[in-house]
Structure formats: structure tokens, C-alpha cells
Structure 1
């Protein structure tokens, strides 16, 4: 083991430790367990929600179940990212797992709706940290040149959870032996396993840092994020010109301006503005925002349409979303492996954004008569396109910043994706629901006697089973109303994917770093004689070389570290 470098002694960091392939794989296993728990919980309540709010008496405030989690997880992303850079990530990751697991127990035991919503908020505080820290820790232990094959499976976890969550939640809810509480009890053994793996496998150096915390930045960013979420929520329900909606917009603008002013003077800003002077950070972050806006809008509205078109239950309709998961997992993992082998990444976000845009264009042709086979093909292509983009934008953003800012860069990139998702679901959800209400009213009016006989008295009384039992022509009219409301939404999303395609084309093909974040910062060294950065034969870095790499990276201006050549860096 090498002795600590002078830089490490000055900043109080622990002595370097050896990064072996076995250690990296153990760390990756712990991270996957934490990410799976967090991402699954975002979707598992979707099919159980009607039962949950009915049991707890919160039907009229159902939106709070989703809003509480979304708000909390988005709030803490930048905090976890920056604090991880300053104080180390292991203890923060363990804290996030423990918080998430404990709040799951409270959610399962909730006696009232208010307690349940509070537990969901606390879950979000833990879940947001799990997502950010997992991606930042991988950047700490795996060089960008090799990171694709790790981040591909991480991206696939999102696709898996998007489908598995509703299926598992529906199964627990529909079976009396379990009940909706098991949507949260299931987190306990998974959380304890993740905690044990984290304690014993997540070997990361501890840091001591006396930097002044950016308290004002945290407060103002939290205010801006809260205002954004409520602006989108109120705008979607009350209307975009409603007084309360405009008040939240004003609060958003004021807090955002205040945040920028504070960050310009902060010693350790929670979201360093210097990141936004780096072209290859700004472009993937902006593309992530666009992808978040389009992806969550499309995926969020499709299950409802599929339930009506197929007549299946909420839980069973989740099976019809499997093609998205299959396409996303295939391309996310495949592109990650390809990037590791070639060092090239630009083609994937370009191809992925184009594929998603073309699929959206095809989905504008959706009608009540479109076959399920055709819809499944659409969903597969949509997932395949998303898999080519989602994790690549994180990888490129991480590669563009100094090793000392990996956490802040990862958090900022994810933060703006969540901002896009929040706005997309709210804005385009308003378009969808307003058109749907009009279409359903016309369908029920045109088929009044048949609707009355089927017990469908208003759009609010529609359930898939009743629609199927009603028979034709009422069933066809209702399905067409859903299709006619949904198809234009995909059309409205197209301009954003055109913008996303332009952003992807503007990516600069720069070499991916051959040095893991901790090695570049002088906190770790590679095991002598092992290939920890790719194929066998890679030459290990000593502590001195690592410290030199760290100083060179930190001294370089943002965006200049890897923008010297247009071809992949040679394997040293």
C-alpha cells in the first residue's frame, strides 16, 4: 500500500486503498441493490394507490402520494451530490438506505392518510440520495472509459422498475394474503440486505472537510424546487392562469434568481455555476431534461389507454408495458458495452433521440382501432431509443468535470431530468385530460341508452371492466376517445425531441477518462499487475501519478480536461 500523498495529508483524506476488480464488483452489487429498492418504490404504488387512499380516507388528495415523493427526492439530489464531494459518499449512502427502509415501515403501518403522505416524503429524502450517490460512486471507482458497461445495467433498472413495480403492487393489492402494505414491507428485507452490503462491501475513503456549507443555496434551491413542483401540480389541476398557479410561478422566479446570486458568491456552492460554462456538461444535461420531459409523459399516459383498449385490470395491463422494458434493457446494456470497447459515445444519443422522435411521430397515428401488436412494437422502439440515451448523458456529463465535482455534476444532471419530468407530466397531462373529458362526454352522449344500461353515467365512473362489458359501439367510442386524446400529446412532444436531436448532434467526441475519480483525486490506487481499467495489460497508477492527475484535472478550466482531441484517448 502506498503512503498518503502530501495533498491527502493536507485535506485530511484517508490513505489510498487498492481498487481491485473484486472490490469494484462488490461495490456495484451494493449500489444496484439500493437503486433497485428506490426505483421500484416510485412505481409500485401506482396500481395500489386506489386501494391505499380508499383505506386511509384520502381519495380527494390522492395526488399527494406521488407529489410528496417527487418533491422530496428532487429536493435532496443536489444536497447529496455536493455533500458527497465534500464529506465522502459511503456514510451518506448508508444513511439514505436506512432512511428509506425505516420510512417504508412507517408507510406500511400508517394509521391515517396524513402519516402515510409524511412517510412517502421521508422515503423520497432517502430515495433521491440512493439514485445520485450510486451513479457518483460508480464514477469514483470506475474510469469513464469503462463506466458504460456498469451504467448500462443501472439504466436498465429504471426500465425494469417501470414495469415490475405496477405488477408487484397489483399482485400484493389483489391478494388478500398480502394487502397493499406489502408494497412497503418488501422494502425491509431488501433494505437490510442493501445496508449489509453497503457496510461490508462499500469500501470508500472517509473525508473530513471544514468548508463552509452553502446553507443559503440549499434553502433557495429547495424553495425553487418546491415552487416548481407546486406550479406544475396546480397548473395541471387548476389551470395555468389561476391565481394560485401564478403565485407559485412568481415564487419560482424569485427563488431561482436569488439562488443564482447566492451561488455566484458561495465558497462551496451546492450547484456550482462553473458547471454551466462547460459545453460537454451543458449539452447532455439539457438533453436529459428533454428526455425526462418526453419519456415520463409518454410512459405515464400509455397504461391508462392500454387498460381501456385491452379490458385488462390495472395490474395485468402492466404486462403490456413489457416491450418498453425489453427495448430499454437491450440498448442500455448493449450501448454501455459498446462504449467501453470503443470509447465512442456520440452516435448513441443521436440515434436514441432520433428513434424516440420517430416513434413519437408514429404514435400520433394511434386510433381506437390500432392493434395491440402495433402498439407493442411502438413501445419496444420507444424503450430502445430511451436506452441509448439515458445513461450516456450522465456518463458524458461526469466525464466533462473535474474529479472533485463528480457528485455535484451527477446530481445536477439528474435534477434537470426530474425538472423535465415534472413539467412534462403536468403540462401534457393537462392537454390529455382536457381532450379526454371532451371525447368521453361526446361518446357517452352519442350512446346514452347503452351507457345507462352498462351503469356508465359519467366519465368519472369509467372502469376497464365496465367498458368491455358495454360492448359495441360504446366500447369502440370510448377507446377512440382515449386514443384521440393521447395521439396529439405525442405530436406536441415532437418539437422537444427535435431540440434534443440538435443537442445530441452538437456533442463533441472527446476521449473518455482512463482514470477513476478516486484515483484522480489521490484517494486510491490500482492493484499492481491487475487490469482494473479495461482489458488485461492496463498499467496501474501509483499514488504519485494519481495525485498528479488530480492536480492537473483540478487546475484545468472546466471543459478543457478532455477536449484536446477528437479520437479516443490511448490506453495507458
Structure 2
């Protein structure tokens, strides 16, 4: 029975170098296998940095300073992704552009998810430092454009540019850390990066609110302006201190001028991938009733067309921007799918549980925030704990399965929530799935990187982030669609029962319209006679969306069965 590597690497002649005691390929043949794995996707016909001397030994202190600088970049990118929530009201008021509200809010996330997958393969050509600096500069320019925006279109453009840079900061930090840290210790540093991202996401809205409330540096403009000097500090630190070890693939292609490096980029694949993701993410962000309109249908046709063109382009490209052959490796496929499904569940559950707390339990935004706070610590503990476990044991498969079961159990507990759920239990509700999924995100990244030779880790990391982004987006889109569809039918059923009991059809239809568009209406302006019916509708609708989250977790757990246990080496050369 041929092994996985034998099926993927047909060109190895294992009969040449055999261990006489076992008649299986020896160390040399094993090394040849790694060299030839997906050989069409590497720059083997060029002089690469595996043979140059511009790399140098990297000290522990320098490494940690660089990782700290990159974590600062991740923190800023996370802050910028959530800071908009408390700034958007003042922005739309200043520019009198309520109709552009959704674009102001979504342009950052849209561009971040779209351009994120491009960084990995391009950094194999130009080197990690160049792409890290580019991401920092784009992020900085985007913040400046936002701070100085004379109109709403300039503001949207600034958010879009910031997203291109912010997505690169997240991806390139992960890729570069893998070039600096051996796999066995890699999980700890990923935990630190996750801590930076979670912290930034958590304080983003607070920072925005502080600047707006106190009118510091022009209010909302100051919130963007304050990110500029911090980004400059991170950029300078990376430029001065980032040194990769000798022979690292992160040093880029050597002995080739800039024009020839540009020719190595898969422009056709890059363009079609960007259009594919832009159309896909825009389509999934539409409201349910707009998907079958001309706009929605057009986006769907664009998505399908460019997806087909992208797949064809990647199969023909000499150096594809996103090598699809990697998905033939079962661990890469399993890790990517598990990321997709668990992110789908996680993001949707966070979104819907907020609605449940507000509409069903009548909690204020501040009270909801308090119930989310313990989840932050569980995510940090899960990420760092997974890192320390993998460093001490060199294993990850059993940890993944256990964490997957934990995530399924925790999501099942969310499904069982009731309006009279104990207050103390509400604070612990998100801890279990949050802990499990944070372990999964950390461990699957290491499993994915360990499954391919080190020179391919940038491309596989990009694949991982692509699946995460798509899973997060689809999770919220599908979960919201399920919720909204059930909510409307449930509201119509529950509210129209009052017809003929002193309430006419026009009044009840107005209540349905208001309740279906605002969860705050339930305990706010809704007539008291209808409150219980509205609460019941929101309760059943949220439960159905939670069940979708549970099914996603189960799919993620089943995807893990594809993952194989690989050695987590304690050295960068994996020996």
C-alpha cells in the first residue's frame, strides 16, 4: 500500500539508497523526498537563500525583541478591526453618510481577508522582512488616510488600505515566527500572538470610545492618529533587528534583481484569487433578502467564474500563489477544514449569544461585556497551555481530539441555554468552547507546518488563514441567515395570535417589522402585552442558530481525523 508521500512524490527512486537491515529508504532518501515534495511549487531553478551567507545566528534576546515587535503589530491590527464599533456613529454624523455605514464598517475586514493569503508566497520571493515592512507601511498609510480623510470615500479607502496591511501583519508575524522558532516551542509563541490579538480585539472599542468621549486629537480622527507612532516604532524595530538564521527560506530568493523577482509572482493567480475572495465575502455580507437580487446574482456569477479561473491558473502556474496541491496532504486538508468549521462555529456563537443576552435576558451591553470577559482568559490559557504541552511532549494529535470534544461539549451547553439560566453559569458559558477552540487553532497550525518541509511553511500558513477567514465570514453569514429566517416566521406566528383581541393587523405587522430589525426593541419600545411573545421568538431563533454552531463543531471534530502525528522538531533544520 503506497504511503501518502509516495502518492504525492512519484519521482523518488527508493531502490537506490536502502537500509540493508530493513530494506526501506534510509536518511538520504528521506531527505530527497522532502526536497522533491511539490517540487513544481518551489524555486529550485533559481539561486535561493538556502545556499547564501547573508543569514546569521540569531540570539535569544534579539529573537524575543523581534517577536515582541511583531506582536505589537498584531495588537494594533486587532485594535483597528474593532475600534470602528465606537467611532462609526461620529464618523457617519460628520460626513452625513448613514447610507455608507456598512462600507465604513466592513472595508477593513473585507480587504484584510482578501489580501491575507497573498503574503506567504510573495514573502518566499522577497523575504519576510520586506513583506513585514510593507504590511506595516500599508497599515500606517491607511491610518493616516483615515485620520485626515476629507470625505467618506477617503475614509473608506483608508480603512481598505489599513485592512490590506493589517491582514499582512497577522499572517507575516505567524510565518516569520516559524522561521525563528523551532516547531517544538512554536506553540508558546503562537499563544503570545493570540494573546496580543485577543487583547487588541478586546480594548479596540474601549480605545475608540475614550477618544470620542474626551474629544482627544479631534475625537475619532485621534483614534487613528495615535496608531501611527506605535506602528512606526514596530516598523523601525523590525527593520533594525529582524535577522533570520542562515539558510532560512524566509530570506527570499537570492541573486535575482527586483524586476525578475516581480516576474516570479503568480500575477494571474493573485488577481483571480483577490476577485474570487472579494466577490465571495461581499456576497456573504449581503442581507438574506438581497442575495437573490440582481446584485447578489451578479456577485455569485463573478465568484463562480473567477473561482474556476483561479483553480485552472494555479494548476498551470510554475510558482502558484496558493498551491492547491498542498490540500492533497491529508494533514493540511484536515487542519484547514477543522479551522474552517471551528471558526465558523466560534464567530457565529459570539454574534448570536450577544443577541440572546440582549433580547431574551434583557441584559445591557455592559453586562454582556462582563459575561464575555472570562472567555478572554480561557483563550489565553488555551493557547499558551497548548504551546507548553507541545513543547514538553512533542505531540499534538491527542490534544487536538480532546480539545475538539471539549469544544463540542461547550457548544452543546450553549444550545441548552434558557431564559432563566443561572447568572453565575452565564459567566462560564463561553469558557469551555473558547478554551477548546483556542487550543485547536494553535495546535492545528503546528500540525499543518509539520506536515510539509520548512521551505513550504509560508504557503501552508496562508492556506490556514484563508480557511479561518472564510469560516468566520460564512459562519456569521449562515448563522445570521438561519436566525433571521426563523425569527421572522416565529414572530409572525407568535405576534399574529393577538389579531382580533383588541389589536389590528397593521399594528401587529409594525411590531413584527420593528422586532425583526432590533433586539433592543423587545425590552425597550415594544408594548408590554407582546414582550413574552417576542422573547419566545428570539429564544427559539437563537437556539436554531446555536444548533448550526454545534453541527459545525462536530464537522470540525470529524475533520481532525484526517490529521496525522508528525515530529515537532526542537531545531529549525528539523534534525
Distance 1:444 1:189, change over 3 A: farther
Query: Of 68, 73, 77, which aligns to 2:112?
Result: 73
Given candidates 268, 275, 280, the residue that maps to 1:216 is 268
Distance (whole Å) between structure 1 residues aligned to residue 87 and residue 519 of structure 2 = 15
CA distance in 2, matches of 1:471, 1:242: 34
1:108–1:10 distance in 2 versus 1, CA, 3 Å: closer
- For residues 404 and 547 of structure 2, the distance between their equivalents in structure 1, rounded to whole angstroms, comes to 15
Q: How does 1:235-274 map to 2 (within 5 A)?
A: 236-274=287-325
**CA contact under 8 A between 1:332 and 1:387: conserved in structure 2?**
yes
TM-score by length of 2: 0.80
- Equivalent pair of 1:100/1:123 in contact (CA under 8 Å): yes
Distance in 1 between residues matched to 2:283 and 2:517, nearest whole Å: 28
CA–CA distance in 2 between the matches of 1:190 and 1:313? Answer: 33
| Contact 2:141/2:158 (<8 A) preserved | no
Match of 2:157 in 1: 118
Distance in 1 separating the partners of 2:268 and 2:522: 54
Contact 1:167 1:319 survives alignment (8 Å):
no
- CA 1:255 to 1:470, structure 2 compared with 1: closer, same or farther past 3 Å? closer
2-structure distance, mates of 1:112, 1:368: 45
Distance 2:477 2:409 in 1: 23
Residue 133 of structure 2 aligns with which residue? 94
Counterpart of 1:556 in structure 2 is none
2:471 aligns with: 420
Structure 1 unpaired stretches of 5+: 1-6, 521-548, 550-571
Q: Which residue of 2 aligns with 1:540?
A: none
> Structure 1 residues 218, 9: CA separation in 2 closer, same or farther (over 3 Å shift)?
closer
After TM superposition, give the deviation of residue 69 of structure 1 in Å: 1.6
Alignment of 1:265-414 (within 5 A): 265-308=316-359, 314=365, 317-414=368-465
Residue 179 of structure 1: which of 219, 225, 237 is its match? 219
Question: 2:566 is paired with a residue of what secondary structure?
Answer: coil
Looking at structure 2, the residues matched to 11 and 465 of structure 1 have their Cα atoms a distance apart, in angstroms, of 62
Q: 1:225 to 1:469 in 2, by over 3 A?
A: closer
CA contact (8 A) 2:48 2:252 kept: no
CA-based RMSD of the aligned residues comes to 3.0
Q: By how many angstroms is 1:193 displaced?
A: 2.2
Q: What's the secondary structure of 2:57's corresponding residue?
A: strand
Matched residue of 1:48: which SS? Answer: helix
1:106 aligns with 2:145: yes
Could you tell me which of 564, 572, 575 is aligned with 1:508? 564
Q: Distance in 2 between matches of 1:32 and 1:420?
A: 24
Instruction: Report the counterpart of residue 194 of structure 1 in structure 2.
Output: 234
CA distance in 2, matches of 1:433, 1:484: 11
The CA deviation at 1:476 is: 5.2
Query: Superposed, which structure 2 residues align to 1:424-439 within 5 Å?
Result: 424-437=475-488
What SS does the corresponding residue of 2:523 show, helix, strand or coil? helix
Q: Specify the alignment match of 1:166 in structure 2.
A: 205
CA distance in 1, matches of 2:389, 2:376: 20
Alignment size in residue pairs: 508
- SS in structure 1 opposite 2:419? coil
Distance 2:74 2:482 in 1: 32
Displacement of 1:287 in angstroms is 0.9
The one of 73, 95, 109 aligned to 1:34? 73
Q: Deviations over 1:9-46 (max 9, x none)?
A: 94364523012211221121111011111122112222
Give the Å deviation of 1:150. Answer: 0.7
Retained in 2: the 8 A contact 1:78–1:415? yes
With 35-44 and 505-514 compared, the bigger mean Cα shift is at 505-514
CA contact (8 A) 2:450 2:566 kept: no
Partner of 1:143: 182
CA distance in 2, matches of 1:107, 1:220: 28
CA contact (8 A) 1:441 1:458 kept: no
Q: Whole-Å Cα distance in 1 between the matches of residues 480 and 86 of structure 2?
A: 18
> For residue 203 of structure 1, what is the aligned residue in structure 2?
243
Moved more, 156-165 or 417-426: 156-165
- 1:186-222 CA-to-partner distances (Å, cap 9, x unmatched) read 3223212212321222224464444522111111111
The answer to whether the 8 Å contact 1:163/1:321 transfers is no
Rounded to whole Å, the distance in 1 between the matches of 2:431 and 2:359 is 20
Q: Which residue of 1 aligns with 2:8?
A: none
- Tell me how far 1:59 sits from its aligned partner: 2.3
**When the two structures are superposed, what TM-score results if normalisation uses the length of structure 1?**
0.81
Asked whether the equivalents of residues 296 and 421 of structure 1 are also in contact (C-alpha less than 8 Å), the reply is yes
Does 161-170 or 494-503 show the bigger shift? 161-170
CA distance in structure 2 between the aligned counterparts of 1:357 and 1:432, rounded to whole angstroms:
20
Provide the C-alpha distance between the structure 2 equivalents of 1:472 and 1:369, rounded to a whole number of angstroms. 19
Once the two structures are overlaid, the 10-residue window that deviates more, 427-436 or 236-245, is 236-245
Query: Using a 3 Å threshold, how does the CA distance of structure 1 residues 191 and 138 change in structure 2: closer, same or farther?
Result: same
